[in-house]
Structure 1
Amino acid sequence: MAFWLMKSEPDEASIDDLVRLGRLPWTGVRNYQARNFMRDAMQLGDGVLFYHSSCPQPGVAGLAEIASGTVPDETQFDPASPYFDPKSSRDAPRWLQLDVSLVRKTRLLPLAEMRTAPELATMQVLQRGNRLSITPVTAAEWRAVLKRLDRASA
């Protein structure tokens, strides 16, 4: 089992949306490295830190798991979508999606709190210049995040 941090802007897909629906398609990934993680490394049942980004208080908002294999991301073919890619074709799609399902909504573990935790210092999301929407999380980082999530807010 592997672990991942997956960023979503809450006005596009939030943990509350995942709570309401139980399962969400992870669409709109337009970075080749993040796409390759989905295609080559992510497996059914892998753990996911559902991370709210580009919002007033970014941070881990819940836990999810990978619930499907990859399929072509339909948004790449839709000219009305902000994720439309005119260079992609149905015969040779560039972009993929997979589904995530809810494990549980948690308290928000803010980015600011994560930055103060020595045991999380190696997390890719905390590295300067990291903008990837999907990053691997080590087992030690996963356990450290879970421990913090289970504690009362500092």
Structure 2
Amino acid sequence: MNYWLVKSEPSTYSWDDLVRDKKTTWDGVRNFQARNNLKSMKKGDLVLFYHSMDDKAVVATATISKEHFPDPKDKDWAAVEIAAGKKLKKPVTLAQIKADKRLVDMVLVKSSRLSVQPVKEAEYSIVLSLSEEK
């Protein structure tokens, strides 16, 4: 199993939208590295759902429910289907992630603009544990 982080602007597609829809096609990615990450996703992989822009926080989890297929809007690009997981007890902000020495090598810290990125299993667990802290 692999772990990932996907970013979305809440005004474009939020966690609440995914909960409402239950699953969605994750398309519109127009970065080669992010596209390659989409192509590496496998059904059942776990995902951190990150609100970009104002929130800048991991807000929930999701699961890859369908492996990559051609982006419906442009067949030269890739898409996957993701299904809603669980909302975190509290959002884990980018500032919290950057401040945690255990996450210094996380792609989100080093390449924060990448919209689809791999996450190590330990990083995934740490982010979930940070959401549980008071």
Q: TM-score, normalised by structure 1?
A: 0.82
> What corresponds to 2:28 in structure 1?
28
C-alpha offsets along residues 67-114 of structure 1, whole Å, 9 cap, x if unaligned?
A: 1011211223xxxxxxxxxxxxxxxx2111111111101121111111
1:110 aligns with 2:93: yes
1:95 paired with 2:77, answer yes
Counterparts of 1:69 and 1:131, CA distance in 2: 23
Aligned to 1:16: 16
Determine the structure 1 residue equivalent to 2:51. 52
Q: Which has a greater percent of strand?
A: 2
Whether contact under 8 Å (1:19, 1:105) holds in the other structure is: no
Match of 2:118 in 1: 136
Pairwise CA distance, 1:29 = 0.4
In the superposition, the TM-score normalised over structure 2's length comes to 0.93
- Provide structure 1 residue ranges, at least 5 long, that are not aligned to the other structure: 77-92
**Displacement over 4 Å in runs of 4+:** none
Question: How many angstroms apart in 2 are the aligned matches of 1:57 and 1:71?
Answer: 30
Q: What amino acid is aligned across from residue 102 of structure 1 in structure 2?
A: A
Separation (CA, whole Å) in 1 of partners of 2:46 and 2:18: 15
Partners of 1:33 and 1:94 lie apart in 2 by 14
Matched residue of 2:81: which SS? strand
Structure 2 equivalent of residue 72 of structure 1: 70
Quote the offset at 1:133 in angstroms. Answer: 0.6
Equivalent pairs counted in the alignment come to 133
Return the alpha-carbon distance in structure 2 between the equivalents of residues 69 and 4 of structure 1: 13
Percent identical residues:
38
Q: Deviations over 1:105-147 (max 9, x none)?
A: 11211111111111111111111x5421111111111111111
CA distance in structure 1 between the aligned counterparts of 2:55 and 2:7, rounded to whole angstroms: 13
Quick one: distance in 1 between partners of 2:76 and 2:33? Answer: 12
* C-alpha deviation, 1:33, in angstroms: 1.2
Match of 1:120? Answer: 103
3-state SS of the aligned residue for 1:51? strand
RMSD of equivalent CA atoms: 1.2
The CA distance in 2 between the partners of 1:130 and 1:115, in whole Å, is 10
